[in-house]
Structure 1
Amino acid sequence: MAGHSKWKNIAHRKGKQDAARGKIFTRLSKEIMVAARQGGGDPTANARLRLAISKAREHNMPNDNIERVIKKATGELEGVNYEEISYEGYGPAGVAVYVEVVTDSRNRAASDMRHIFSKYGGNLGESGCVSWMFDKKGIININKADITIDEEELLLLALDAGADDLIGDEDAFEIVTEPDSFEQVKEQLVAADIQINSSEITMVPQNTISLTGDDAKKMLKLMEKLEENDDVQNVYANFDISDEDMQKYHS
């Protein structure tokens, strides 16, 4: 979980930079569009769309933008046809890397993934080669400074709501849920006046590989280049890097 959390912190900082360039809205729009195409444009009947809209609102995407994307997905407005593809491979020291792509060009996406993996110290693998090393989980992040109850009270509240676990560090708590109970846990936390910093359904590694020195530097560069690709929605990897090396090698 440590590697997951550290990279998400980096991704969060990067997300702020992306927002200035408009990239984060593009990724959120793609997620809304795919969700609406698959399950319909009514968020009350489409859990994935509800989650995508919630994430868009967390990033202050205007409602007009959200509604326009849904209309494009359902055919009310003309729009681009996107498809979801996953790519799996390995980074330095055998780190498992799982990439989720939403693209309007399968050939371009495949070419880009091969190029990035090979240029930055990785190897693109076959479908299924690393996905088994990750579990799909709901992660709800809460800043310690934002709540008045202690860890034991928060744990009991989370477990009663249907969560699996509570993990704390110096500054924050992460509540872990199964995907099916994610929305229920969020709703009960909000009802209890618990301020949520961020929430998502993500892929959590079952085990992590500790990286140092050159391997750590190469791994962070690979992750950075994958995240920068316009077709990439999410990147997951099972590495763990010390805070010192994280600060040293991540620009």
Structure 2
Amino acid sequence: MGRGPSIEGRKNASDAKRGAAFTKLARDIRIAARGGLPDPAHNAKLRAAVDKALVANMPKDSIERAIRRGAGLEGGAVEEIRYEGYGPGGVALLIDCLSDNPQRSVADVRHALSKHGGNLGTSGSVAFQFQRSGVVAIDSAGAAGIEEKVLEIALEAGADDVRNEAGQSIVLCAPEQFEALHKALQDAGLPIAHAGVEMLAANRVTVPAEALQPLRDLLDWLHDLDDVHEVFHNALLPDAQD
């Protein structure tokens, strides 16, 4: 009878996963600190990044070091880079990276795409199919009256649309309205699943059956790359997962 993973093996895997998560959280903090004041009290984007890191139990000294690096007080600079391309089935992809080594980032992204039947495109080749939008997703399944509450608060706070998808209320707004809308929904004590300014596809495309698994494998691969921050696509997936 085979033996399962050892306790040490499971701990090493858990530590590796947590380390990768901390790496991405630190990049978020550096970018936010670089784009404004290196003080969470006066930089909403930085405050949100720090709050997310604290929820993930990231050590405070690591958070402070990331802020110093973003402010240019320590270490190398991190750049925001966007790659555009196509995945299996012709699915359009926007791949946002945070990197201190663009050559490494583009090589990793190109390899991931080519390995899964996709290819890297030129700047502007797919971006026109997406629109920047504020998004707040709220868990609304099984809670009486929550959808009505979300709709009322969202419209008062300047939302453009509220959609109900897979047990969630998805609130959409203009990017400049995002901070006020997010705060209004938070202050109402609603169960927010995730929130951010994202690139939403104007139209979703149906993926051929034979391309579904390769596409999922590609998305998983991209999300696992250290430099990749966000991946947006225009695929209409059967179970509404990204």
The TM-score with structure 1 as length reference comes to 0.81
Distance 2:16 2:183 in 1: 27
Whether the 8 Å contact between 1:138 and 1:200 is mirrored in structure 2 is: yes
SS in 2 for 1:243: coil
Distance 1:199 1:146 in 2: 21
2:184 corresponds to: 188
Q: Provide the alpha-carbon RMSD of the alignment.
A: 2.4
The offset of 1:184, in angstroms, is 0.7
Structure 1 gap ranges (5+) = 1-16
Distance 2:227 2:53 in 1: 18
Distance 1:18 1:160 in 2: 44
* Aligned match for 2:165, one of 169, 174, 177: 169
1:203-222 → structure 2 map (5 Å cutoff): 203-222=199-218
SS in 2 for 1:197: strand
Whether the 8 Å contact between 1:43 and 1:49 is mirrored in structure 2 is: yes
**Who wins on radius of gyration, i.e. which is larger?**
2
Q: Measured at CA, do residues 154 and 21 of structure 1 come closer, stay the same or move farther in structure 2, by a change above 3 Å?
A: closer
Whether the 8 Å contact between 2:130 and 2:202 is mirrored in structure 1 is: yes
How big is each residue's C-alpha offset from its partner over 1:121-168, in whole Å with a ceiling of 9 and x where there is no partner?
Answer: 111110111111111122212112585534233212111011111111
Whose helix fraction is larger, Structure 1's or Structure 2's? 1
SS in 1 for 2:198: strand
1:53-202 → structure 2 map (5 Å cutoff): 53-76=50-73, 78-145=74-141, 148-202=144-198
2:39 corresponds to: 42
**Does 2:63 align with 1:28?**
no
Q: Measured at CA, do residues 221 and 152 of structure 1 come closer, stay the same or move farther in structure 2, by a change above 3 Å?
A: same
Distance 1:62 1:148 in 2: 38
Structure 2 gap ranges (5+) = 1-13
Q: Which moved more, 1:37-46 or 1:54-63?
A: 54-63
- Give the share of equivalent positions with the same residue, in percent: 39
Distance 1:242 1:19 in 2: 31
Count of aligned residue pairs for this structure pair: 229
